[in-house]
Structure 1
Amino acid sequence: MAENHTAGEGGRPTFNVVDHVSWTVPDLDAALAFYRDVLGATELYRMGPLDAADLPVGDDGRDWMASHVGVSGARLTLVMLKLSDNLNFQLVQYDKPSDRRQDVPRNCDRGGHHLAFKVDDVEAAAAWLAQHGCTPLEVIEIAEGPLAGKKNLYIQDPFGHQLELVD
């Protein structure tokens, strides 16, 4: 696909497609196994470990990780997955810095997020995921409005991230 660099209204650049979504996980190999074996993702490539201590410092004195990922002194490894035909999904494990947070934001917290999957059968998908370490909430049955007759379900992956199943 040819790239379109034509500026839009007011000089806004054209944003063509979403390239990928990225989540930080506590154990890259375990997360890779879950998303590959349980959800059917395909590994595209792996990079790292990349350590700020091994990369050149910029002219401004900041280390490479501070200049490029916004985390000084970082050490990370990443895997890019093809999660579906329309989504590449990157998993990243940071081993440094030591003061990195380990809690996952709730849906209502700043930075809160979830990844929604369209499925044929919400209950069947939830049962499959529950058998593989996920924690389901209760099914939302929509009786009225533009989504009447639909079902949704929030379910937590084994690493604390929220997923949503939508029929």
Structure 2
Amino acid sequence: MSVTQNHTGITVADLDRSEAMFRDLFGFETISRAPRDPGTISRVIGVDGCEVEIAYMRNGTATVELLCYSAPQERGDFRPRPCDLGSLHLGFDVDDMDEMLKRCAEWSLDLLGDVVVVSAGPNKGKRIAYLRNPGDGVVLELIER
């Protein structure tokens, strides 16, 4: 049986802003955007009373699914540290770390630590940085080529 990754789903606070950020900052293109049937979504995720609009975006072979829920009203806001179990992040290769950090600042992304040079592993010698989108807590990693 063949298994391949289909997409990475991210729950966001503001679909318009997140869609624009992934497009303008990371080069993704929207391939579809629409609300989903509340009954189907509720059954799929096991939470009653869900309402969601979803944007699918693609950059090369990478696909992100941005989900913006308007219901139920009682939704949590979890912002795990990168070291906490269940924490996820998206990693992006960039040509110019300094320029990309300036562009990220324009989107109010917060640098979590320092920009460092990796000392071992597949990214040895490359500069990396972790940032968080303060609006919805999504963690992003930049890796300078």
Query: Could you tell me the TM-score, scaled by structure 1's length?
Result: 0.75
Equivalent in 25, 33, 37 of residue 24 of structure 2: 37
- Which position in structure 1 is the counterpart of 2:139? 162
Equivalent position amino acid for 1:14 in 2: S
Moved more, 154-163 or 90-99: 154-163
Q: Deviations over 1:36-61 (max 9, x none)?
A: 22222111001215323xxxxxxxxx
Equivalent position amino acid for 1:92 in 2: L
Equivalent in 50, 53, 61 of residue 74 of structure 1: 50
Q: Deviations over 1:76-132 (max 9, x none)?
A: 1101011x2120111001111122112333222332111000112222211221122
Moved more, 91-100 or 120-129: 120-129
CA RMSD of aligned residues (A): 1.8
CA 1:66/1:132 → structure 2, altered by over 3 Å: closer, same or farther?
A: closer
- Which position in structure 1 is the counterpart of 2:102? 127
Find the structure with the greater CA-based Rg. 1
SS at match of 1:46: strand
| C-alpha contact (below 8 Å) 1:25/1:31 kept by paired residues | yes
- Whose relative contact order is higher, 1 or 2, with alpha carbons under 8 Å and at least 6 apart? 2
Query: Could you tell me the TM-score, scaled by structure 2's length?
Result: 0.86
CA 1:75/1:152 → structure 2, altered by over 3 Å: closer, same or farther?
A: same
Query: 1:119 and 1:65 mapped to 2: Cα distance?
Result: 35
SS at match of 1:39: coil
| C-alpha contact (below 8 Å) 1:72/1:97 kept by paired residues | yes
Moved more, 98-107 or 25-34: 98-107
Q: How many residues align?
A: 141
| C-alpha contact (below 8 Å) 1:152/1:165 kept by paired residues | yes
CA 1:145/1:69 → structure 2, altered by over 3 Å: closer, same or farther?
A: closer
Any unmatched runs of 5+ in structure 2? none
Equivalent position amino acid for 1:48 in 2: P
Query: 1:162 and 1:20 mapped to 2: Cα distance?
Result: 17
Any unmatched runs of 5+ in structure 1? 1-12, 53-63
CA 1:141/1:49 → structure 2, altered by over 3 Å: closer, same or farther?
A: same
| C-alpha contact (below 8 Å) 1:27/1:93 kept by paired residues | yes
Q: Please state how far the C-alpha of 1:158 moved relative to its aligned partner.
A: 4.3
Tell me which stretches of 4 or more aligned residues in structure 1 moved more than 4 Å: none
SS at match of 1:124: helix
| C-alpha contact (below 8 Å) 1:126/1:155 kept by paired residues | no
